[in-house]
Structure 1
Amino acid sequence: MAETRNDSRGDIRSDARAGARTVIERYWSTAQDRDWSAFGALLAPDVVYEIPQTRERVRGREAYVRFNAEYPGDWRVTVERIVAEERRGVSWTSFTAEGGTETGLSFFTLGDDGLIESVVDFWPEPYEPPAGREHLVERY
């Protein structure tokens, strides 16, 4: 397995031949930069995003990009570590918003084309989702 510490910014253009580590690095750098076009280019059209703590699921590239773009408040993410192999990877992040910092684990699966097919986020504490994103998610 390949491993990297701290976010590497590199070229943010989508490269279908890039390994999972590179794609995950680009995912976080484009999110941090609020470059939603480049962020969306990393996602499969039918990407599925899940947050088990809130029992939320977002389906599809457009909805997932909006979900992130509309996240409330000013937030920052720091990538602590990425561990990846060919089409799978996990990232450990520190997410800072509204004066607090949370640790998150994100599990990624990529398709044969190198695009992200699924992301599952785990946060240390259960919580209720912020209001205002009901139009983008389904609860399960």
Structure 2
Amino acid sequence: MDAATLLTRLAEVIDAHDWDGLPALLHPAFTCRLLHTGEVFDRDQWARLNADYPGFERLVVEDLVAEGDRGVLRARVTGTGADGSKQVFVVASFASVRDDLIGELTEVWADVDQQAPEGTRPLT
């Protein structure tokens, strides 16, 4: 499979909370690096991280760009915090395909409620 097909399927599986189906999309030597924390996960660890993430509700694809065995998916992720508040994040997932499976993933997460640092934007 190519990157576009795999990333689309990955998003569908995660959004459906199909945690048993998730590892089947990942190469046995899969790694995922979270840039914001520096953590690196193997296939089983990353599948478990997703399955156990508290409050996760939806993953909705907003953009997908791919060519051959490389692709990037941008998605909006929603959930409920421990205090009951609505949480919204965006994630960019950069993927490489290996043997028709996702072999490597690098994720960049951002909180949509972040504010620009004081003094970094022109006043209007």
Note whether the superposition's TM-score is higher than 0.5: yes
Q: Give the % identical residues.
A: 32
* d(CA) in 2 for partners of 1:73, 1:35: 15
Following TM superposition, where does structure 1 have runs of at least 4 consecutive aligned residues deviating by more than 2 angstroms? none
TM-score normalized with structure 2 length: 0.80
Q: Of the candidates 78, 81, 87, which is equivalent to residue 69 of structure 2?
A: 87
Unaligned runs of 5+ in 1: 1-17, 126-140
Q: How far has the Cα of 1:124 moved from its partner?
A: 2.7
Opposite residue 54 of structure 1, the aligned amino acid is T
* d(CA) in 1 for partners of 2:12, 2:45: 19
> What residue is the counterpart of 2:93 in the other structure?
106
TM-score normalized with structure 1 length: 0.71
User: Which has the greater radius of gyration?
Assistant: 2
Per the alignment, in what secondary structure is the counterpart of residue 62 of structure 1?
helix
Tell me how many residue pairs correspond in the alignment.
Answer: 106
> What residue is the counterpart of 2:36 in the other structure?
53
> What residue is the counterpart of 2:22 in the other structure?
39
Opposite residue 70 of structure 1, the aligned amino acid is D
- Deviation digits for residues 41-70 of structure 1 (CA, Å, limit 9, x no counterpart): 1100111011111121112x2222111111
Q: Of the candidates 73, 76, 82, which is equivalent to residue 55 of structure 2?
A: 73
Per the alignment, in what secondary structure is the counterpart of residue 64 of structure 1?
helix
Opposite residue 33 of structure 1, the aligned amino acid is A
> What residue is the counterpart of 2:108 in the other structure?
122
- Deviation digits for residues 85-119 of structure 1 (CA, Å, limit 9, x no counterpart): 110000110111220212211100111x1111111
- Deviation digits for residues 23-52 of structure 1 (CA, Å, limit 9, x no counterpart): 100001001111122211110011101111
Per the alignment, in what secondary structure is the counterpart of residue 36 of structure 1?
coil
> What residue is the counterpart of 2:79 in the other structure?
97
- Aligned residues of 2:2 and 2:97 also touching (Cα < 8 A): no
Opposite residue 89 of structure 2, the aligned amino acid is E
Q: CA RMSD in A?
A: 1.2
Per the alignment, in what secondary structure is the counterpart of residue 27 of structure 1?
helix
Per the alignment, in what secondary structure is the counterpart of residue 94 of structure 1?
strand
Per the alignment, in what secondary structure is the counterpart of residue 8 of structure 2?
helix
